[in-house]
Amino acid sequence: MDAVGNASAPLLVVTGGLGRVATVLLPWLRTTYRLRLVDRAPADGVVRTDIGDPEAAYRALEGADAVLHLAGNGSPWQTWDSVYAANVRTTQIVLEAAAAHAVPKLVLASSLHVMGEYNRPAHWPVDPRLDPRPCCPYGLGKVVLEALGRTHGERMGASVTCLRLGLTGWPLTERRYLGQWLSDDDAGRLVLAALQSKERYGAHFGVSANTRDHWDIASARHELGYRPEDDSEVFADRAGPSSGPVCRLFETETSD
């Protein structure tokens, strides 16, 4: 399959390669990797396929040195049936393809929703080592994704890093997002650090160096070498009130 970049660079397969998060990351990834973008939508330079099909996933990961798994449905309004089909089953298929090709490094996109019930002043900054407390079916799906990733690493000897991403690739229009913002540039720094990490397994919060310190990123700093440079506070005066309910992750707005 085609890949874009320096022929001598390691090959990184990016699932969900046309998605919002991937679009933010591509300028950073191209500095280090030869890229094979995989997506269901058609576009030049993209392998158009359904990564949820086992045979398609096997072909897509052929020759990969690393996988960045971003594909899935990111809506917190999903039912569990939708989450399982779009996120859980797809992740399992990607991991099975990675195992078949003995891919040594995987980075899986998790979410703050894994720990959404801790997003209250009593727990700030939330410790990533706490037991998961998802705030919605989407968050529960990411709990399963992390468990699948841990099992894969233990069984296959691969390095697996799960990144519990905050608000990524969206404008900072509401105050409730200030404590969970991940800037475009910090997203690039975080994912590159994760891809280059040799840890057997880790799950780390992915937010910027925000003054509103709601999520503890010490493990990402120490284990991955993540060095965030941005702070959501520069947008605080322009951020407005809540636009309405989403899920319990967003219920607390005491920092307005």
Domain residue ranges of the chain, discontinuous segments joined by +: 11-250
Answer yes or no: CATH 3.40.50.720 is held by domain 11-250.
Answer: yes
- β partners of residue 32: none
Rounded to two decimals, the pTM is: 0.95
Selection from 15, 1, 106, 16 nearest residue 63 by Cα:
1
Residues 93-145 pLDDT 10s = 999 999 999 999 999 999 999 999 999 999 999 999 999 999 999 999 999 99
pLDDT digits (tens, 9 = 90+) for 148-186: 999 999 999 999 999 999 999 999 999 999 999 999 999
Catalytic residue among 33, 118, 138, 177: 138
Angle between helices 184-196 and 20-29 (to 10 degrees): 70
Cβ neighbours, 10 Å, residue 236: 16
Residue 201 annotated as catalytic:
no
pLDDT at 253 over 60: no
* Token pair in block for residue 18: 């046309």
111 backbone φψ class: left, alpha, beta (φ>0; ψ -120 to 50):
beta
